[in-house]
Structure 1
Amino acid sequence: MTLPTELTHFLASVHPYDCLPADALSALARSCTATDFDTGATVFAVGDQVAHLYVIVAGEIAVTDESDAPISVLGSRNSFGERALLRREAASRTARATAPTKTILIPAKTFFGLIDAFDTIGRFFDRSGPKRDAANQMATLSVDRVMTADPVTCAPETPIKDVARQMAETRISSVCITNSKTLLGIVTLRDLNAKVLATGRPVDEPIANIMTASPLTVAPHTLVMDVLHLMVERRIGHVPILENDTLVGIVTQTDLTRAQAMSSADIVRRVARANTVSEMAEATAEIPKLLVQLVDGGNRHEIITRLITDIADTATRRLLSLAETELGPSPVPFLWLACGSQGRQEQTGVSDQDNCLMLDDAVTPDQMPYFSDLARFVSDGLHACGYVYCPGDMMATNPRWCQPTTVWREYFQSWIAKPNPEAQMLASVMFDLRPIGGDTTLFEGLQAEVLEAASRNSIFTAHMVANSLKHSPPLGLLRGLATIRSGEHRDALDLKHNGVVPIVDLGRIYALQGKLKPANTRARIEAALAAGAVSSSGGADLLDAYDLIATTRLEHQAGQVRAGSAPSNYLDPSTLSDFERSHLRDAFVVVKTMQSAIGSGKGMLG
């Protein structure tokens, strides 16, 4: 394969190059060279300067780390070498041919030019997403990201009164008139008012008599700002979305202005000012749309989860305030703390509640019912706002997790002294505690005491390490991904328990061993790197793996929301391109490697 035409045909079959315009693809092919490697040949080794991105045409490339431990085995249509190129440093891995291998070499200059010129290329080689200014997001957002899919429709002969009743019952402001999926017209509330109520038109007439025929329509890829400008110019409030002459959605001016104005700050403001739980629930119901907006805006995963968690924190504090208004002032100081994903500031579109109460040691038995009522009020309110009850009952409503600070100290001391399986499980949850509302002095000192005691007890940390290895990355045989074998989510990947949780567990172990205070997983790994508790290459690889897996999880959830489904953590790997599956598997291999290192007792510096 030496001719540019042959290179062009092959690259056109490989993602993400298949998204390039024909002229750009031809230019790319002309800048490339084809190189063959015999079995056993080293393409590059640790410390080498990498000058190309390699694309495998046929054959097999094995990638290993500094210790020659296997990282991944790559086949046709996979790329390698981008790690060193993007970091602009010498290779931290070795790539060898394990079979006769044909490759295409894309020069570094061409590679960076593609990333700069084409967002599709940049997204696939930097899974953290483009560094886009949120203020400019609406200029690049397409209308299919904010439209209502599968809009309400009716046949042209439907009586006006039936359409009006349908609009009232479903609380919508328009109905599309269709013949099958072919759009004939649209009727809005304004039409009903102006053409029926104001004129006394009989309500038994067919809806076709008052519809606006052949309304303005746009395609799904039309920019939101362009649609909004059309609406303002033509003084219309509803625009159907057609794809290949088929009705696929509708968007209103309210949808667009809400999308333009909606932010985490707006939801936080509404929650903080809510006077009832129902008002709060109306605000938190916007979180899935916010998730889509933040993902589409190219925000990093840790920013997205932080902003979403801020809403949960605000809801919790507002519920505490409403509870004290109803129950009266607290008899003694207290502190509400979150653990789990809220404690780590890592909430996504799917989050339950994990929380507890620490009480001043002056509390008396006859005052405990007050805190039981307080916990129930807040927990019920969070559930109503979409933060469902913890299936494991790790909530302040459980008397075990509503105790004076002295009891909490005893809890941690006993878990560290006798790390049985239950103690390991409880410690894993409670080491992610973060104060949310109340008297924070009740927690001051306790965290430092616990970290100090835990780091000194080698038996406890060994048990915690063993417990952290119970969640394994979904790696299958023959370079595949291990999916769930049965049940509702058969053939899917669990991006929570087999994706991010193993990394969360590693971050927690680093924090315990290094007496590091952060609760956030990425912050823990970064702190471990800064403290020398993990090797620079191992820590950097783990951060990259975490970024990829966490970003994939959020993009999957955003895609479900766009499709009108509830977000989940279960991803069908067949929906990914070969490129995406290869990189996702590489990330899981990194996690497995780090688990093996810490499980061997060597840490990451041994």
Structure 2
Amino acid sequence: MNSTPWQDTNCKLAPAGEILNSNLLAPHPQIPYLKQTNPHLMKPANAIQERVLEFLQQYPPFNLISQEQLQQLAGQVRVQYLEPEQTLFNQGDTPHEVFYVVRQGSVRLEQGMGEAKRLVDVCDEGDVFGARALIAKKNYSSTATATEETLVYGVSIALFDPILHHNPEVALYFAAGFAAGGPVQQGNMQETNEARRSLHRTTTQQLHLEDVLTLSTGHNKVTCTAQTSIRLAAQIMSDKDSSFILVVDEEEHPIGILTDTDLRKRVVAGHVGIDDMVEAVMSEPEVTIAPNPHMAEALLLLMRHRVKHLCVTRDGTVNSPVEGVLTEHHLLLAQGNNPVVLVQEIRQTSSIAHLPAIRNRAEELLQKYLEQDVNIAFVANIMTEINDALVVRALQHAEGILGEPPLRYCWLSIGSEGREEQLLRTDQDNALVFEDAHVGLEQEAQAYFVQLAVLVNEVLEQCGFEKCPANMMAGNPKWCQPLHAWKQYFHNWIHEPTEEALLNASIFFDYRPLHGNLVLAKELTSYIYEHIQQERIFLPYLAKHALQSPPPLSFFRNFMVERGGDHKDQFDIKLRAMTPLVDAARVLTLYNRVAGENNTFKRFARLAELEPQNATLYREAAMAYEIMMRHRALSGLRNNDTGRYINPAQLNKLERQTLRNTFKIISDVQELLQVRFQLNYLNA
């Protein structure tokens, strides 16, 4: 047979069933546009190797290999052309000497025979498959069949094996199940997440929030006792040129802090005398942290406690000696766009008109965190603190316009903000509960609180949070009610679980008290759990409702995308992937009587503690949900929208593989619900 060097990787190059070395490829007899009559027009043999190299280095795990090693692999790659429905290998076959990479076309992997045949995966351009022989040294666990005209590269196992054993990132790629048809169980979220983070290439050189702060704090160790006079303490602060002084006991354990602000507000203002003791004006308890903390931990402590100083102690508690102070200034030096500063600007701004610009900067912060691959749980905490500060400032603004509230009230965040998961500026979901009173006063109070909520909803809309299309907002009188009315709502939803009731329950059960009298929310929560225990049929119905969104068991090219409408050919990550886990975590949390924890991955973490027999599944569900949150946020920032609909074409190979690995977890969690609540027998 006369051979002609390869002209173009897009051509059908080799007869079906024949494996050839890439240095010598026979032209396909049915492809007339190959200039077989003029061999002088063909590319030289080394150009073939360069084409193979150019293709492989675009995709993991080959982009993790040194250029020299990849050059050697490319020189030995075998190329095979497959006709539609041609089988490359069968389930149970002895493994080939190569594993495969799809160059063009697609290959489906199936298990079983006849009617029992089950689709396992569909591999397209850049996908690795048939790696069972590389890792497990076992026969093929599935059958590989071309779904269309397909070109695959065969990579030598003998050449690749040393790379696998000496390159941890490459090994992690296969361990995470990114190679289709490999021996590992798909959906191992621990390895998937480790691989995703290991393979992530960050482009920024800024300090990561997970980095340790090694800034010197010892020179800030300025202390006195509680019995020191304010006059002497102020003199020590002046001598040390310090804006604060730590108050310690005889063992140098911290008991409080005196700052310039304390002196100005309490001493200079005349509330206490200059010769009184420090304990009369100090702020307590002091917020402590261990030496060399992660920046993420320090930032959260500063924001949550609304302080500017963290006392560094030997073990991070108040029961060990002081070693120094970590100040807000340290963090400002270490990081540029500081979330603490954003929160302070929101709280202190005199004009509500400044809030949209500040919130825009928070979006820039989110972009930076995602680029740095910062832990998504921390990112969610930061964005929640920023959004909460925004809501509180809007409430203060509204109260300033309307005057003092007629009754005590509590603002409730619901939906993703209630779960502390609102990374992007999605639509608003909120409610308001106020204390019970006589009918006339309640009506008067509701009119006030509806006005208050409308003003808040408008401010949030100006900051980029669109109003809820279903009007699930406190500005709607239906969701601005006294405590007894909210109790009646939940009573009806629990004891009469119609489809509408279950839908409302799935939304409002995730409420989080954000501002006002938190006792109102606490009383409502106690009422809810009491009635859930009384009405045992409610949780099975809620579990059944949670199964309405079937899991997208794979991410096969255009599989499970929207069939029409504005989002045709896009993947609804909220409805098809995130909502099933949100709903499952809610039901299981209610079942275990866990109150006060709304966040989905925190709920799964708590469930793992309460149910050791299911701990592995719950931990993997938490990691899967974090991965989905990251994908949605990246998609939203990329397309300047809510990120709900993802265009598969915009995902790189690693993103698609990572997302695909999360889907098996959804199926496993829903199966647990099915068994626990015996849903097969419900309404049977």
C-alpha contact (below 8 Å) 1:15/1:577 kept by paired residues:
no
Aligned residue among 78, 87, 92 for 1:41 = 92
Q: Percent identity?
A: 25
Residue in 1 aligned with 2:611? 532
Structure 1 gaps, min length 5: 45-52, 83-89, 142-256
Q: Distance in 1 between matches of 2:55 and 2:473?
A: 56
Please tell me the residue identity of whatever aligns with 1:138: Q
Which residue does the alignment assign to 1:22?
Answer: 67
Alpha-carbon distance in structure 1 between the residues aligned to 2:383 and 2:572: 21
Q: Distance in 1 between matches of 2:478 and 2:606?
A: 32
User: SS of 1:443's equivalent?
Assistant: helix
Letter in 2 for 1:539: Y
Show the 5 A alignment for 1:477-516.
481-516=559-594
CA distance in 2, matches of 1:352, 1:21: 46
Alignment partners' CA distance in 2, 1:359 and 1:42: 69
Counterpart amino acid of residue 278 in structure 1? A
CA distance 1:534–1:124, change in 2 (3 Å): closer
Which residue does the alignment assign to 1:285? 360
1:307 CA displacement:
1.5
Q: 1:115 to 1:346 in 2, by over 3 A?
A: farther
How big is the shift at 1:416?
0.4
Distance 1:10 1:97 in 2: 26
Partner of 2:351 in structure 1? 276
Q: TM-score under structure 1 normalisation?
A: 0.64
Match of 2:519 among 441, 446, 463: 441
For residue 206 of structure 2, what is the aligned residue in structure 1?
A: 138
What is the rounded CA distance, in whole Å, between the counterparts of 2:156 and 2:633 in structure 1? 32
**1:162-186 C-alpha deviation (Å, 9 max, x unpaired):** xxxxxxxxxxxxxxxxxxxxxxxxx
Question: Could you list the runs of 5+ residues in structure 2 that have no partner in the other structure?
Answer: 1-18, 24-48, 78-87, 146-151, 179-189, 210-331, 680-684
Matches of 1:368 and 1:115 in 2, distance apart? Answer: 62
**Counterparts of residues 211-360 of structure 1 (less than 5 Å):** 261-360=336-435
Kindly tell me: are residues 450 and 74 of structure 1, through their superposed partners in 2, closer, same or farther at Cα, counting changes over 3 Å? same
- Closer, same or farther: CA 430–128 of 1 in aligned 2, 3 Å: farther
CA distance in 1, matches of 2:655, 2:526: 41
Alignment correspondent of 1:568: 643
Tell me if structure 2 keeps the 8 A contact 1:534–1:603: no
Deviations 1:14-69 (A, max 9, x none): 4352465513535888999xxxx96333999xxxxxxxx987679765699xxx99
Residues 302-340 of structure 1: CA deviation (Å, up to 9, x unaligned): 322222122111011112222222222222211111000
CA distance in structure 2 between the partners assigned to 1:359 and 1:439 by the alignment: 9
TM-superposed CA distance for 1:123, in Å, is 12
Q: Are the equivalent residues in 1 in contact too, given 2:121–2:554 (CA < 8 A)?
A: no
The residue matched to 2:141 in structure 1 has which SS? strand
Aligned in 2, Cα 1:476/1:566: closer, same or farther, shift over 3 Å?
A: closer
Question: Which of 471, 474, 493 is the equivalent residue of 1:396?
Answer: 474
Is the 1:597–1:603 contact (alpha carbons within 8 Å) kept by the matching residues of 2? no
2:628 paired residue number:
549
Q: Distance in 1 between matches of 2:117 and 2:530?
A: 34
For the pair shown, the structure with the greater C-alpha radius of gyration is 2
2:488 alignment partner, one of 381, 402, 410: 410
Greater relative contact order structure (CA < 8 Å, 6+ sep): 1
RMSD: 4.7
Contact 2:558–2:569 (8 Å) recurs in 1: no
Measured after TM superposition, the shift of residue 461 of structure 1 is: 1.4
Aligned-residue offset at 1:351? 1.4
The 3 A distance-change label for structure 1 pair 336 and 602 is closer
The separation in 2 between residues aligned to 1:532 and 1:555, in whole angstroms, is 33
Retained in 2: the 8 A contact 1:435–1:443? yes
- Report deviation, 1:283: 0.8
Contact 1:334/1:438, CA 8 A, preserved across alignment: yes
Paired positions, count:
462
Q: How do 1:152-167 and structure 2 match up within 5 A?
A: none
Does structure 2 retain, via aligned residues, the 8 Å contact 1:334–1:358?
yes
- In structure 2, C-alpha distance between the alignment counterparts of 1:69 and 1:544, rounded to whole Å: 31
CA–CA distance in 2 between the matches of 1:31 and 1:263? 51
Contact 2:624 2:662 in 1 (8 A): yes
Cα pair distance change 1:2/1:445, threshold 3 Å: farther
The alignment status of 1:129 with 2:177, answered yes or no, reads no
User: Secondary structure of 2:410's match?
Assistant: strand
- DSSP 3-state at the match of 1:488: helix
Partner AA of 1:290 in structure 2: L
Higher mean alpha-carbon deviation, 328-337 vs 359-368, is at 359-368
Which residue of 114, 121, 134 corresponds with 1:73? 121
Q: Is contact 1:56–1:104 with CA below 8 Å preserved after alignment? A: no
Contact 1:277 1:384 in 2 (8 A): no
Using the alignment, how far apart are the partners of 2:384 and 2:111 within structure 1? 38
The residue aligned with 1:110 is: 166
Q: CA deviation at 1:2?
A: 12
Distance 1:405 1:131 in 2: 51
Q: TM-score, normalised by structure 2?
A: 0.58
- Deviation track 1:276-323 (CA, whole Å, cap 9, x = no partner) reads 221112211223312211111211223222221221110111122222
Cα displacement (A) at 1:420: 0.7
Q: Is the 8 A contact 1:475 1:482 kept in 2?
A: no
- What residue number does 1:589 align with? 664
Whether contact under 8 Å (2:608, 2:616) holds in the other structure is: no
Residues in 1 aligned to 2:503 and 2:423: alpha-carbon distance in whole angstroms: 22
Q: Quote the Cα distance in structure 2 between the aligned partners of 1:95 and 1:525.
A: 35
